[in-house]
């Protein structure tokens, strides 16, 4: 099984993540054009329920598997890896049955009582097949990541998006004559088909690449494996707690937003449209750079786990510094583009310039969001998953309370929900960083932070000048693309001029080892 270095594995995931995000945005644009804000709102109302079920089904096992497999691989214990996989699959199989049945029974109550829009039930029903699919694929992804082989995860993401984007228009348009709610369910089915294609690829790769006979004595491998079960739960439960808090908060988010907007005097249909603009248009743009930070998180977890197992404390600090610096530098240019070109992006992509105000409010604070993933992965690798869980709990409680307080105020409305979401991810990121600093003694120098802030401000001013002054004779889309490209060039040049990233580091970053 091919193993990559930390940087090479990260590059593979970043490249795949870029194409995945690009395809994902094409998918969202197609879906937005077909469904409109109301249909996207119905689709997005089902997403938190899906994420909650998937979190409960996976139970934090991908992280636990990656960590334990990395440690077992470092000790050359292939028999231990087989036990980890067998126990994990047994656990996820049982959980997927339980939660699949639960969704069948609870979907009417969720749609009618909590989401305040009975039409969301069709998208909820469409979610059902995805639970067992993700249950198995998450175990296989954790296995490959533990071996520090990031190619299966990367290629699986691309396959999933290709299948989804191929089918989203077909299925949405096929169901559209029946009503917008059926079209939203069709869009959800396209996502399920994509996940199934990704799973089939992972299964094929696992069968052809594994170094042991997995099905032989499968049930005897599981029997009596209390230690493996305990080791998995020790890591998985706090990780599940952290993710469960996030997905539970996300599950209640449309509920709280809908109820708060109702208190503010917003009609149900308008509230659904506004929520669709926020979470269907604005948030996906805001989370665009997270394919980079997700790649860092996935690579960081097994690398840090291996370094901790070998007691290489200097390497731990070095990997943390690398991950944080890459997250900040990649996120900085995205903050500039999202803030300065908010109206242009919303118009070109979604024909929804009215959503630009929310994007402008949230964009300046997005750097905190981009740091959150790597910091959480570091806490999990360092055996502080419980600390990460508590940080997430505090952030979720405050965010939910802020949504209710602000969105229910008629003077804020949906803008209040956007502000509350910002408060949530800023708080959680600060808590994660404080926890790592306290437990490891790690700190990040102020000087690079000041340089980055200066670079963002200067690039922002340059981008605004370009947008106001250049290429007005060209079409709207081409003018925006050229101005964004010029802004990126200014940012990259400034990054090297301020020595936030050097040519020597670039050459090192591009090496295979």
> Residue 93: pLDDT above 70?
yes
**Annotated domain spans of the chain:** 14-226, 268-513
Least confidently predicted of 116-120, 460-464, 484-488? 116-120
Give the length of the chain: 513
- DSSP H helical segments within 266-413, as ranges? 268-276, 283-286, 290-309, 313-340, 342-350, 356-362, 366-381, 385-407
Q: Residue 112: its pLDDT value, please? A: 78
Alpha carbon separation from 120 to 33, 48, 182, 268, 472 (Å, rounded): 19, 12, 9, 13, 43
Which residues make Cβ contacts (< 8 Å) with residue 168, sequence separation at least 6?
A: 27, 30, 31, 186, 187, 190
- At residue 439, φ and ψ (nearest 5 deg) are -85, -25
Kindly report, residue by residue over 384-419, the tens digit of the pLDDT: 878 888 888 898 889 889 988 988 888 888 888 889
Alpha carbon separation from 281 to 28, 278, 476 (Å, rounded): 8, 6, 20
pLDDT above 90 as % of the chain:
16
Burial (CB < 10 A; 0-12, 13-18, 19+), residue 345, is buried
> Residue 4: pLDDT above 60?
no
pLDDT band at 106 (very low <50, low <70, confident <90, very high): confident
Q: Residue 428: its pLDDT value, please? A: 92
> Residue 28: pLDDT above 60?
yes
Least confidently predicted of 137-141, 241-245, 354-358? 241-245
Q: Pick the residue with more confidence: 133 or 46?
A: 133
pTM over 0.75: no
Kindly state the average pLDDT of the residues 169-197: 89
Which of 20-24, 61-65, 93-97, 231-235 reaches the highest mean pLDDT?
A: 93-97
- CA contacts within 13 A on the Cβ side of 229: 10
Kindly state the average pLDDT of the residues 313-318: 76
Q: Residue 243: its pLDDT value, please? A: 67
Least confidently predicted of 55-64, 308-317, 384-393, 432-441? 308-317
Q: How many of the other CB atoms lie within 10 Å of CB of 410? A: 12
Sign of CA dihedral 29, 34, 35, 36: positive
Q: Residue 493: its pLDDT value, please? A: 93
DSSP string for 488-512: HHHHHHHHHHTTSS-HHHHHHHHS-
Q: Residue 111: its pLDDT value, please? A: 80
Q: Pick the residue with more confidence: 413 or 344?
A: 344
Q: Residue 512: its pLDDT value, please? A: 45
> Residue 210: pLDDT above 70?
no
Kindly state the average pLDDT of the residues 352-373: 90
DSSP string for 142-167: HHHHHTT--HHHHHHHHHHHHHHHHH
Angle 313-340/414-440 helices, nearest 10 degrees? Answer: 160
For the chain, how many helices (H) and strands (E)? 21, 0
Q: How far apart are CA 458 and CA 54, in angstroms?
A: 42
Kindly report, residue by residue over 142-171, the tens digit of the pLDDT: 888 887 777 888 888 889 888 988 888 888
Alpha carbon separation from 305 to 5, 20, 312 (Å, rounded): 14, 27, 10
Q: Residue 37: its pLDDT value, please? A: 78
Kindly state the average pLDDT of the residues 456-471: 93
Least confidently predicted of 3-7, 82-86, 88-92, 257-261? 3-7
pLDDT band at 126 (very low <50, low <70, confident <90, very high): confident
Q: Residue 480: its pLDDT value, please? A: 94
> Residue 426: pLDDT above 90?
yes
Alpha carbon separation from 235 to 239, 379, 388 (Å, rounded): 6, 11, 12
> Residue 310: pLDDT above 90?
no
pLDDT band at 2 (very low <50, low <70, confident <90, very high): low
Q: Residue 214: its pLDDT value, please? A: 59
Q: Pick the residue with more confidence: 501 or 424?
A: 424
Please give the mean pLDDT across all residues of the chain: 82
- For residue 354, give the DSSP letter: G
> Residue 277: pLDDT above 60?
yes
Kindly report, residue by residue over 464-513, the tens digit of the pLDDT: 999 999 888 899 999 999 999 999 999 999 988 888 877 666 665 555 44
Q: How far is CA 323 from the centre of its chain?
A: 16
């Amino acid at each position: 099984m091919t193993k990559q270095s930390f940087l090479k594995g990260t590059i593979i995931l970043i490249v795949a993540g870029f194409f995945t995000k690009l395809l994902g945005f094409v998918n969202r644009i197609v879906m937005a054009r077909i469904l409109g804000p109301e249909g996207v709102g119905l689709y997005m109302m089902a997403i938190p329920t899906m994420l909650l079920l998937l979190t409960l089904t996976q139970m934090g096992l991908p992280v636990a598997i990656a960590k334990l497999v990395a440690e077992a691989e470092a000790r050359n214990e292939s028999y231990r890896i087989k036990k980890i996989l067998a126990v994990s699959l047994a656990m996820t199989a049982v959980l997927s049955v339980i939660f699949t049945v639960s969704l069948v029974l609870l979907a009417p109550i969720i749609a009618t009582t909590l989401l305040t829009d009975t039409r969301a039930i069709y998208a909820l029903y469409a979610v059902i097949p995805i639970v067992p699919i993700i249950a198995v694929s998450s175990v296989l992804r954790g296995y490959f990541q533990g071996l520090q082989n990031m190619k299966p995860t990367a290629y699986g993401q691309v396959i999933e998006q290709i299948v989804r984007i191929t089918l989203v228009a077909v299925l949405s348009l096929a169901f559209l004559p029946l009503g917008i709610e059926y079209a939203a369910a069709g869009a959800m089915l396209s996502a399920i088909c994509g996940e199934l294609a990704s799973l089939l690829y992972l299964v094929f790769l696992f069968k052809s690449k594994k170094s042991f006979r997995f099905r032989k004595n499968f049930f005897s491998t599981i029997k009596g494996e209390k230690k493996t079960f305990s080791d998995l739960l020790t890591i998985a439960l706090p990780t599940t707690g952290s993710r469960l808090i996030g997905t539970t908060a996300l599950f209640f988010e449309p509920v709280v937003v809908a109820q708060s907007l109702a208190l503010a005097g917003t009609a149900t249909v308008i509230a659904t449209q506004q929520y669709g603009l926020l979470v269907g248009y604005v948030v996906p743009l805001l989370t665009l750079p997270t394919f980079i930070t997700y790649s860092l998180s996935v690579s960081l977890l097994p690398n840090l786990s291996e370094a901790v197992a070998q007691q290489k404390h200097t390497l731990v600090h070095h990997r943390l510094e690398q991950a944080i610096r890459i997250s900040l530098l990649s996120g900085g240019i995205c903050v500039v583009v999202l803030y300065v070109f908010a109206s242009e992006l919303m118009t070109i992509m979604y024909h929804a310039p009215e959503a630009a105000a929310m994007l402008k409010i949230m964009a300046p604070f997005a750097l905190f969001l981009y740091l959150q993933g790597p910091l959480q992965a570091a806490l999990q690798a360092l055996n502080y998953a419980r600390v990460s869980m508590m940080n997430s709990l505090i952030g979720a409680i405050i965010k939910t309370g802020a949504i209710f307080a602000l969105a229910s105020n008629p003077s804020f409305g949906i803008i209040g929900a956007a502000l509350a979401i910002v408060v949530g991810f800023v708080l959680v990121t600060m808590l994660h960083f404080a926890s790592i600093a306290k437990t490891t003694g790690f700190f990040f120098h102020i000087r690079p932070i000041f340089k980055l802030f200066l670079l963002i401000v200067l690039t922002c001013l340059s981008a605004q000048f370009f947008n106001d002054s250049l290429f007005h004779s060209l079409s709207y889309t081409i003018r925006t693309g050229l101005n964004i490209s010029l802004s990126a060039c200014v940012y990259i040049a400034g990054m090297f001029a301020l020595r936030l990233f050097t040519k020597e580091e670039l050459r090192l970053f591009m090496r295979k080892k």
